[in-house]
Each structure stands twice: as C-alpha cells, then as structure tokens.
Amino acid sequence: MGEKGILLVGLACLDIINIMESFPEEDTDSRCREQHWQRGGNASNSSVVLSQLGVKCQYFGTLAKHRLSEFIKDDLDKHGVTVDNCVYHDNCTVPTSCVIVNASNGTRTILHANKNLPELKLEDFERLNPNLYSWIHFEGRNIEEVMKMISFIEKFNNEQSAKDRITISLEMEKPKANVHELIHHGDVVFMSKDYAKYFGHSTAEEAINAFHPKLKKGATLVCAWGDKGAWGSDGSDGNIYHSQAYPPDQLLDTLGAGDTFNAGVICGLNQKQRLLEALTLGCKLAGRKCGLHGFDGVATGFV
Ligand SMILES: Nc1ncnc2c1ncn2[C@@H]1O[C@H](COP(=O)(O)OP(=O)(O)O)[C@@H](O)[C@H]1O
Ligand SMILES: *[C@@H]1O[C@H](CO)[C@@H](O)[C@H](O)[C@H]1NC(C)=O
Ligand SMILES: *[C@@H]1O[C@H](CO)[C@@H](O)[C@H](O)[C@H]1NC(C)=O
Ligand SMILES: *[C@@H]1O[C@H](CO)[C@@H](O)[C@H](O)[C@H]1NC(C)=O
Ligand SMILES: *[C@@H]1O[C@H](CO)[C@@H](O)[C@H](O)[C@H]1NC(C)=O
Ligand SMILES: *[C@@H]1O[C@H](CO)[C@@H](O)[C@H](O)[C@H]1NC(C)=O
C-alpha cells in the first residue's frame, strides 16, 4: 500500500487577477496593465506546496462539471496533487474570485462569487478510505458538515493503534458563525491574525494564551503574524515557541503566504519534527513565497 498521504479538504476556485494603473471608474472601459488566471482556494494552495515538498498529497472538494474546472484540475495535476476523489456536480458554475489590484497604491478589491456549487457532504467524505491518510487538514468553511467529517475520523481513530491514527488540522480564519466549535477538535489548529484580532488580541502570544485552554488535551495551536513570524503552543510540553519571519530580498507577492506557511508546518509535524522546527520550516517557505509570483519554485532547496 505504501506510504500514507495527506488529504486537504476545502474549496478550489478560479482567481482572475486584474492589475490596473488605477481603480476603474464606474461605467468606463479600461485596459488592465496585466491580467492572469490562477487556481485558488486555501486548501488547494497548501496542497500544491506540500506536493513540492515531496509529500504525497490529495486535494478533496467539490468541482463543477464544467470546462473551466479543467483549468483548476490541470494546475493541481501539474503540481502532482491527486484530485481523483473530488466530487463533480452537474449544471454548476465554477466559483471565482475577481481581484482588482490598484497598482498605484496596492489596494486589492476582491469580488467572490459562488453561484451554485454545493459544498462537500459527509456522504462524500465517507467514501474515502481513511487507511490511506496520516493527516487530514480542513479549511475553515462549511463548518457544520466538516464537524460531521471530523466525528467520522474521531470514530476511526478510536479503533486504531496510536501509529495508525489520523492527525486532524484545522484553519480558524474568519470569525464566522460557528468556526469556534472547531477549536475543540483539532490536533493542530491554525488561528489567523484576523481571528485573534477580532477577539481583541494584539499579539500572537496573547491570542495563544487565551485560546490554548480551549483545545483538546495535547493539541497544538499555531498563530502566524505576518512579518513578525509565527508562534505555536505545544500541547505535549505546554511551551510556546516562536520562529522569526524570513523575508525575501524583495517582497513580490504575499498572496498565499499563509497557505504556504500552513503547508510547511503540516509537512514538518507530519514528519515528526518538533514544533519549533516545523514553525521555522513554515516561515522559511512562506518567506520564500513572498519573493516569488505564485508558488512555482517555493520548495526549491528544501527537499
Ligand atoms: N512581509 C512578510 N515578510 C516576511 N514573511 C512574511 C511576510 N508576510 C508573511 N510572511 C510569512 O508568512 C507567514 C504567514 O503570514 P500571514 O500574515 O498569516 O499570511 P496571510 O496574510 O497569507 O494570512 C508568516 O508567519 C511569515 O512567516
Ligand atoms: C491561493 O494562491 C493564489 C496564487 O498565489 C492567490 O491568488 C490566492 O489569493 C491564494 N489564496 C486563496 C484563498 O485563493
Ligand atoms: C442538468 O440540466 C439538464 C438540462 O436542463 C437536466 O436534464 C439534468 O437533469 C440536470 N442535472 C442535474 C443533476 O440537475
Ligand atoms: C488607486 O490609487 C490611486 C493613487 O494612489 C488613488 O488615487 C485611488 O483612489 C486608488 N483607488 C482605490 C479604489 O483605492
Ligand atoms: C489607496 O487609496 C484609497 C483611496 O484613496 C485609500 O482609501 C487607501 O487607504 C489607499 N491605500 C494605500 C495602501 O495607500
Ligand atoms: C485563506 O484565503 C484568504 C483569502 O481568501 C486569505 O485572506 C487567508 O489568509 C488564507 N488563509 C491562510 C491560512 O492563508
């Protein structure tokens, strides 16, 4: 059967990035300095980075049965990410994010559309063979259904010996309705700076001290903080660790830095690195990513 892989669960979308000299005026016809299409989505971004790190990984989500999905699928294929288990839906449009970048001052205006693509259901998840995975990561969306999927893995784990249990990681990104329920269920929880700030914390350490007690016993809480690097509390020894950031010579593109960081931490911990080592790998990779457009070459020199 071979080595077990990592499964990343989330939504993949099409990002159309428009770079303008200045923000367009309403009811005018303007040219972009540059326009490109790229595959997006948090979990799908992380899967591309993990694959470049040499990890066997699979993206799992719903896709529209539509020609535009081929663009998403081809990009994942190109990066060696398996998409074979994705669930296709008829008569749906592909979720898209249109981004308008005002090159004069760097603002990004994002227009997200998901007309009718259904979210993943527990039934879809139950069709997977859990024996194939050492780690499953969930994007912080579709919470109600994700909670059911986590219960499914928890049941599976209860019947396994320690070495065959699946590690569950989760992202708590936007302080939406019931995201906080997730915190009790992750072995590794990634909390965003936005989430921490929303609850009034002005540093990662403060947020970690406040939220760590809500985790299940022995779990790890990780909080990245832009150019300050990242902090994590290790549930096995109770310590808080910090890695500095590793800025590139020139900041080119920070979109997807967090997704890259998560991939680095997951990769490290999945290989049984200590938390500090994994945080450092995450920050080094994310720093590298900030000096590149997109993800190509992000892991060069790390594997
Ligand atoms: N300006 C930056 N310089 C260096 N590293 C950065 C910078 N911004 C982000 N990073 C790296 O990316 C990681 C994730 O940062 P974060 O702010 O959470 O990203 P995002 O904005 O994508 O959510 C940080 O821990 C850091 O290592
Ligand atoms: C994923 O990566 C792409 C390409 O770097 C980026 O445009 C996008 O913002 C990232 N995140 C999401 C959620 O799509
Ligand atoms: C998709 O649309 C076609 C044409 O309207 C219809 O025949 C088909 O049943 C629809 N499929 C689903 C899954 O709704
Ligand atoms: C875009 O940048 C220009 C130059 O700084 C500024 O005048 C304009 O208001 C900006 N537009 C938006 C929507 O941010
Ligand atoms: C860009 O311009 C807009 C509109 O004038 C302004 O609100 C915004 O603060 C500016 N952003 C930056 C990063 O300068
Ligand atoms: C997920 O994507 C959103 C953009 O849609 C971004 O703001 C956020 O930082 C991403 N999460 C991580 C962990 O990077």
Which pLDDT tens digits describe the chain residue by residue (303 residues)? 578 999 999 999 999 999 999 999 999 999 999 999 999 999 999 999 999 999 999 999 999 999 999 999 999 999 999 999 999 999 999 999 999 988 888 788 999 999 899 999 999 999 999 999 999 999 989 999 999 999 999 999 999 999 999 999 999 988 877 888 889 999 999 999 999 999 999 999 999 999 999 999 999 999 999 999 999 999 999 999 999 999 999 988 888 999 999 999 999 999 999 999 999 999 999 999 999 988 999 999 888
The C-alpha angle with vertex 217 and arms to 213 and 221, in degrees rounded to 5, equals 55
Q: Could you tell me the pTM of the whole model?
A: 0.93
**Nearest atom in ligand 5 to 102's CA:** 1
Identify the helix (H) or strand (E) that includes residue 168.
Answer: strand 167-172
The domain ranges of the chain are 5-25+32-290
d(CA 166, CA 131): 9
**What's the alpha-carbon Rg for the chain, to the nearest Å?**
19
Measured CA to CA in angstroms, residue 10 lies from 119, 145, 251 at distances of: 9, 12, 28
**Ligand 2 touching residue 294 (CB < 6 A):** yes
Helix (H, G, I), strand (E, B) or coil at 2: coil
Is CATH 3.40.1190.20 the classification given to domain 5-25+32-290? yes
Report residue 221: phi and psi, to 5°: -115, 130
Cα of 244 to ligand 1 centre, how many Å?
10
Nearest Cα neighbor of 133 from 87, 170, 166 is 166
Report residue 47: phi and psi, to 5°: -65, -35
